[in-house]
Amino acid sequence: MNAFLRNLSPTHQVAALFFIVFGVLTLVSIVTLLVGLRERRNAAHGEAWLREFADFRALLRTTWFMAVVFWIGWALGPGVATLLFALIAFFALREFITLSPTRRGDHRSLILAFFVVLPVQFMLVATARFDLFTVFIPVYVFIAIPVVSALANDPSQFLERNAKLQWGIMVCVYGMSHVPALLLLSFPGYEGKSAFLVFFLVFVVQTCMVVQHLIARRFAYLPPDEADVARRGIVGRWLARKPFAPHVSRSFNWASWGLGMAIASVVGAAMSFITPFKFGQALAMALIACVAGSMGHLVMKALKRDRGIPNWGQKGVGVTGANGLLDRVDALCFAAPVFFHSVRWYFGL
Amino acid sequence: MLAAKLLGWVLLGLVRLLTGAQARWWGCPPKAEQRIYFANHQSHLDLVMIWAALPEELRSITRPIAARDYWANTPMKRWITTEVFNAIYVERGGTPAPAEAGAPPPDPMAPLQPLIEALKSGDSIIIFPEGTRGHTGEPQKFKSGLFTLAQMFPDVVLVPAWIDNVQRVMPKGEIVPVPILCSVTFGAPIALAPGEERRAFLDRAREAVIALRHV
Q: What is the pTM of this model?
A: 0.83
Query: Which residue numbers in chain A have pLDDT < 70?
Result: 1-7, 221-232, 234-235, 237, 309-323
Q: In this structure, are A86 and A99 located in the same domain?
A: yes
Residue A341 backbone zone (phi > 0: left; psi -120 to 50: alpha; other: beta): alpha
- A123-A127-A132 Cα angle (round to 5): 75
Which residues does chain B have within 8 Å of residue A161's beta carbon, measured at their own beta carbons? none
> Lowest mean pLDDT: which of A32-41, B22-31, B145-154, B194-203?
A32-41
Q: In terms of residue numbers, what domain contains A158?
A: 77-184
ipTM of the complex: 0.81
A107, B181: Cβ pair inside 8 Å? no
Q: In this structure, are A84 and A68 located in the same domain?
A: no
Measured distance CA(B137)–CA(B157) in Å, rounded = 26
Query: CB–CB of B112/B149 below 8 Å?
Result: yes
Query: CB–CB of A331/A294 below 8 Å?
Result: yes
Measured distance CA(B114)–CA(B141) in Å, rounded = 23
Q: In this structure, are A333 and A196 located in the same domain?
A: yes
Measured distance CA(A213)–CA(A99) in Å, rounded = 24
Of the residues A76, A100, A123, the one at which a domain ends: A76
Which residues does chain A have within 8 Å of residue B56's beta carbon, measured at their own beta carbons? none
DSSP-derived letter for residue A347 is: H
Q: Which residues touch A23 (CB under 8 Å, ≥6 apart)?
A: none
Q: In this structure, are A171 and A205 located in the same domain?
A: no
Q: Which residues touch A175 (CB under 8 Å, ≥6 apart)?
A: A296, A332, A333, A334, A336, A337
User: Which of B14, B168, B212 to mutate: most A Cβ within 10 Å?
Assistant: B168
Each residue's pLDDT tens digit, A2-40: 666 666 777 777 788 788 888 988 999 999 888 888 877
Measured distance CA(B133)–CA(B73) in Å, rounded = 18
DSSP H helical ranges for chain A:
2-7, 10-41, 47-75, 78-98, 107-112, 118-126, 130-133, 142-151, 158-168, 176-181, 194-218, 233-239, 254-270, 279-307, 325-347
Of the residues A76, A100, A128, the one at which a domain ends: A76
What DSSP assignment string belongs to B134-200? Answer: -SSSS--PPPTHHHHHHHH-TTSEEEEEEEESHHHHS-TT--S------EEEE---B-PPTT--HHH
Query: CB–CB of A104/B136 below 8 Å?
Result: no
Give the residue from A67, A70, A89, A69 showing the smallest Cα distance to A329: A89
Q: In this structure, are A153 and A296 located in the same domain?
A: no
Q: In this structure, are A100 and A228 located in the same domain?
A: no
Which residues does chain A have within 8 Å of residue B178's beta carbon, measured at their own beta carbons? 97, 107, 110-111, 114
The whole-number pLDDT of residue A15 equals 81
Q: In this structure, are A196 and A325 located in the same domain?
A: yes
Each residue's pLDDT tens digit, B43-60: 888 888 999 999 988 888
Instruction: Tell me whether strands B157-164 and B183-186 are parallel, antiparallel or unpaired.
Output: antiparallel
Of the residues A76, A100, A118, the one at which a domain ends: A76
Of B16, B23, B178, the CB nearest to A111: B178
Give the residue from A185, A260, A165 showing the smallest Cα distance to A216: A260
Q: In this structure, are A229 and A290 located in the same domain?
A: yes
Q: What is the number of alpha carbons within 13 Å of residue B6 lying toward its C-beta?
A: 3
Q: Which residues touch A25 (CB under 8 Å, ≥6 apart)?
A: A60, A63, A64, A67
Query: CB–CB of A171/A88 below 8 Å?
Result: no
Q: In this structure, are A203 and A319 located in the same domain?
A: yes
Query: CB–CB of A76/A90 below 8 Å?
Result: no
Q: In this structure, are A252 and A148 located in the same domain?
A: no
> Counting one residue from A and one from B, how many pairs have CB atoms under 8 Å apart?
45
Each residue's pLDDT tens digit, A173-232: 999 999 989 888 878 877 777 778 888 898 899 888 888 888 877 777 666 666 566 666
Please tell me which residue of chain A has the smallest CA distance to B15. A320
What DSSP assignment string belongs to A157-179? Answer: THHHHHHHHHHHIIIIIIIHHHH
Query: CB–CB of B59/B28 below 8 Å?
Result: no
Q: In this structure, are A7 and A45 located in the same domain?
A: yes
Query: CB–CB of A265/A290 below 8 Å?
Result: yes
Question: Does residue B94 sit in helix, strand or coil?
Answer: coil
Q: In this structure, are A83 and A24 located in the same domain?
A: no
Alpha-carbon A178 to chain mean position: 12
- Say how many domains are in chain A: 3
Each residue's pLDDT tens digit, B169-178: 888 788 889 9
